[in-house]
Chain A
Amino acid sequence: AQSVSQHNHHVILSEAASLELGCNYSYGGTVNLFWYVQYPGQHLQLLLKYFSGDPLVKGIKGFEAEFIKSKFSFNLRKPSVQWSDTAEYFCAVKGAGSYQLTFGKGTKLSVIP
């Protein structure tokens, strides 16, 4: 069975600070990895995804994530956060051959102006 662990429940940063949100997954084979974001009052939307190839993936709004296979990790990063990045962020994993997408419990990010 696949599972996802997000290390931080709530992260509070000042504007311009750097961001790194941790995500570790458990699955024995090839995986597809995703980060989704849920802005206040809006629907869940895709930030970025990893299927194969370059382990450093760039997404929308300046976000990027690095897939480290040996550590079963897919951490999300942004060099300089803005107040508009305040949202809840979800990491998700899909094992090859599985139809199911498994989500982590989410990390709330609050950015203080």
Chain B
Amino acid sequence: DGGITQSPKYLFRKEGQNVTLSCEQNLNHDAMYWYRQDPGQGLRLIYYSQIVNDFQKGDIAEGYSVSREKKESFPLTVTSAQKNPTAFYLCASSLPNLSGQPQHFGDGTRLSIL
């Protein structure tokens, strides 16, 4: 079955440490996205990529970095500069987005600070 795989499901970070969240999709989608979900805040866009080797900042990109070296993969690094990283992180993908294609979501990674 085609879908989006996020790993790990749970992740713990020590203060001052960078961590990388994995997102892989086999839907052959060009566009991929990272969102952060906090209770009562809905989903907020961190980064998005419409095509390989290109990505743009979303609304809350500070303290995060991404890469898009392969169509299937869009890893997110939460750096030590992100002061409040505890959250639920969702990865999504879609067909070319300018036409309003709906996004498909992974199961998420819950990040906590030790």
B42-A90 in contact (CB<8A): yes
A32-B50 in contact (CB<8A): no
**Quick check: is A46 within 8 A (CB to CB) of the other chain?**
yes
A99 to B101, CA, bound (A): 10
A93 to B103, CA, bound (A): 12
A94 to B44, CA, bound (A): 13
Query: How many A residues touch the partner, as a band?
Result: 20 to 34
Identify which of A32, A34, A44 contacts B90 (C-beta below 8 A).
Answer: A44
B42-A105 in contact (CB<8A): yes
B40-A105 in contact (CB<8A): yes
Looking at B11-19, B79-87, B104-112, the stretch in contact with chain A turns out to be: B104-112
Please give the number of chain B residues whose Cβ is less than 8 angstroms from any Cβ of chain A in the complex.
Answer: 26
A43 to B100, CA, bound (A): 20
Q: Which residues of A contact B90 (CB under 8 A)?
A: 43-44
Q: Which residues of A contact B41 (CB under 8 A)?
A: 105
Could you give, for residues 42-54 of chain A, a 1 whenever the CB lies within 8 Å of some chain B CB and a 0 otherwise?
1111100101000
B98-A99 in contact (CB<8A): yes
- Nearest-CB residue, chain A, relative to B31: A99
Q: Which residues of A contact B63 (CB under 8 A)?
A: none
Given contacts A43-B107, A51-B100, contact A100 B42 (CB under 8 A): no
A binding-site residues for B, Cβ under 8 Å: 4, 6, 9, 32, 34, 36, 42-46, 49, 51, 90, 94, 96-97, 99-106
B binding-site residues for A, Cβ under 8 Å: 31, 33, 35, 40-45, 48, 50, 56, 58-59, 90, 92, 97-98, 100, 102-108
